[in-house]
């Protein structure tokens, strides 16, 4: 027996939702972590590139100053570029402290930056000469400027190379972390799938046990418990909608003789053959049940007295002409039937059953192989 369609659909929908959420989580982790990492290193690399551009421009201005020692444009431009050095160094220090690069890795470059700051202070004092730079020591400015430019160029280049290496290392790490997250999501999905399969199996087993509890083991018809549950449900509907409900009670005539003469196995085969015939003749909406021993019942929803009577007569005639299996094949079997009908939920189940039972008793008293009606009281 497979799980109920509703449960199967619910489990499938739940698994698909969980899979979608897992994919979103894994994708969001990879995307956001990659963006955050990329933004950190991109900002630091951008600061280093801008600082390198300043040092390259400083070198060009220093070379131009060599050819034009007192050209004010070059002096002004050099002063402007030198003034940016502390800001550039401070920004780079900040970027390094926020990055994932180990401090030991860039410690030598920090030492070079500290040396560059010392050179900057000496160079700034030379640039801050009185009289608008008339008394400026241009050779010293040129020497200190080239020394500062050389120190910064090497430091910035080394740091940029380290940043690129660190970014590459982090990208590889992120790939492994993303793979780990994906594997974790897959593992969660596998565990969820296993739990859902276990739940489906438990539900299937529960339904099997439930089916066994409401099924007659010998004939595979509904049993008394199932008949009572369904009848109560139909009566409740009738009280609300005013429908009709009919109940046939059936007893096999003189069945004890079959058991005594041919044995219980042959009697069981007869019961199975009769049950199959009842099930064949009953309508799809009817519930055919074995109440125990040789007693059967047919519950007929939305069926009035005449319709129920016609079905009862068909059952009686079919049973009388039914070839019996095994050693009982030479015999013929008849049935007695009691019929009761209720309309609009006027009867309780006990009352409906009692009236059908009284009809069955009259059928036996009046010679068997007949149907007796006990209409609504």
H/E stretch holding 99: none
Task: Work out the mean pLDDT of the chain and round it to a whole number.
Answer: 82
Residue 56 has pLDDT above 90, yes or no: no
- Binning pLDDT at 50, 70 and 90, where does residue 18 land? low
Residue 218 has pLDDT above 80, yes or no: yes
* Residue 297: per-residue pLDDT: 97
Place of tokens 């280093």: 48
For the chain, give every domain's residue range. Answer: 5-192, 224-374
Residue 318 has pLDDT above 90, yes or no: yes
63-89: pLDDT as tens digits = 887 777 666 777 788 888 888 888 888
Residue 286 has pLDDT above 90, yes or no: yes
Q: Which long-range contacts (CB under 8 A, 24 or more apart) does 45-49 make?
A: 45/160, 45/163, 45/164, 45/167, 47/88, 47/91, 47/92, 47/95, 48/92, 48/156, 48/159, 48/160, 48/163, 49/160
Question: Across the strands, what pairs with 342?
Answer: 245
Radius of gyration of the chain (CA): 49
> Nearest CA to 286 among 224, 346, 222, 241?
222
* Residue 14: per-residue pLDDT: 62
Active-site annotation, residues: 294
Q: What's domain 224-374's superfamily in CATH?
A: Reverse transcriptase/Diguanylate cyclase domain (3.30.70.270)
- Binning pLDDT at 50, 70 and 90, where does residue 1 land? very low
* Residue 22: per-residue pLDDT: 63
φ/ψ (deg, to 5) at 35: -65, -45
């Amino acid at each position: 027996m497979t799980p109920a369609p509703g449960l199967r659909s619910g489990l499938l929908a739940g698994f698909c939702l969980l899979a979608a959420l897992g994919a979103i989580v894994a994708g969001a982790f990879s995307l956001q972590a990659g963006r955050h990492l990329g933004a950190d290193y991109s900002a630091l690399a951008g600061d280093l590139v801008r600082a390198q551009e300043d040092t390259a421009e400083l070198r060009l201005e220093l070379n131009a100053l060599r050819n034009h020692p007192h050209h004010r444009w070059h002096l002004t431009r050099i002063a402007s570029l030198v003034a940016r050095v502390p800001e550039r160094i401070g920004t780079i220090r900040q970027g390094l402290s926020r990055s994932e690069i180990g401090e030991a890795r860039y410690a030598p470059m920090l030492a070079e930056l500290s040396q560059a700051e010392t050179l900057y202070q000496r160079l700034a004092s030379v640039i801050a000469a009185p009289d608008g730079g008339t008394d400026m020591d241009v050779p010293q400015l040129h020497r200190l400027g080239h020394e500062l430019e050389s120190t910064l160029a090497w430091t910035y280049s080394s740091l940029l190379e380290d940043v690129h290496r660190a970014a590459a290392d982090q990208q590889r790490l992120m790939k492994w972390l993303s793979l780990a997250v994906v594997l974790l999501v897959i593992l969660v999905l596998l565990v969820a799938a296993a739990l859902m399969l276990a739940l489906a199996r438990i539900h299937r087993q529960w339904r099997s046990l439930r089916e066994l509890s409401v099924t007659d083991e010998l004939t595979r018809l509904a049993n008394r418990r199932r008949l009572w549950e369904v009848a109560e449900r139909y009566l409740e509907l009738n009280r609300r909608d005013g429908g009709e409900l009919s109940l046939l009670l059936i007893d096999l005539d003189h069945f004890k003789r079959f058991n005594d003469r041919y044995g219980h196995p042959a009697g069981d085969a007869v019961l199975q053959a009769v049950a199959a015939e009842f099930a064949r003749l009953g309508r799809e909406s009817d519930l055919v049940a074995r109440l125990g021993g040789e007693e059967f019942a047919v519950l007929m929803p939305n069926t009035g007295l005449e319709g129920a009577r016609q079905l009862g007569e068909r059952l009686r005639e079919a049973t009388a002409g039914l070839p019996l299996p095994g050693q009982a094949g030479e015999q013929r079997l008849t049935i007695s039937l009691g019929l009761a009908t209720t309309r609009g939920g006027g009867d309780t189940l006990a009352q409906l059953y009692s009236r059908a039972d009284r009809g069955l008793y009259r059928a036996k008293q009046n010679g068997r192989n007949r149907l007796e009606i006990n209409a609504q009281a």
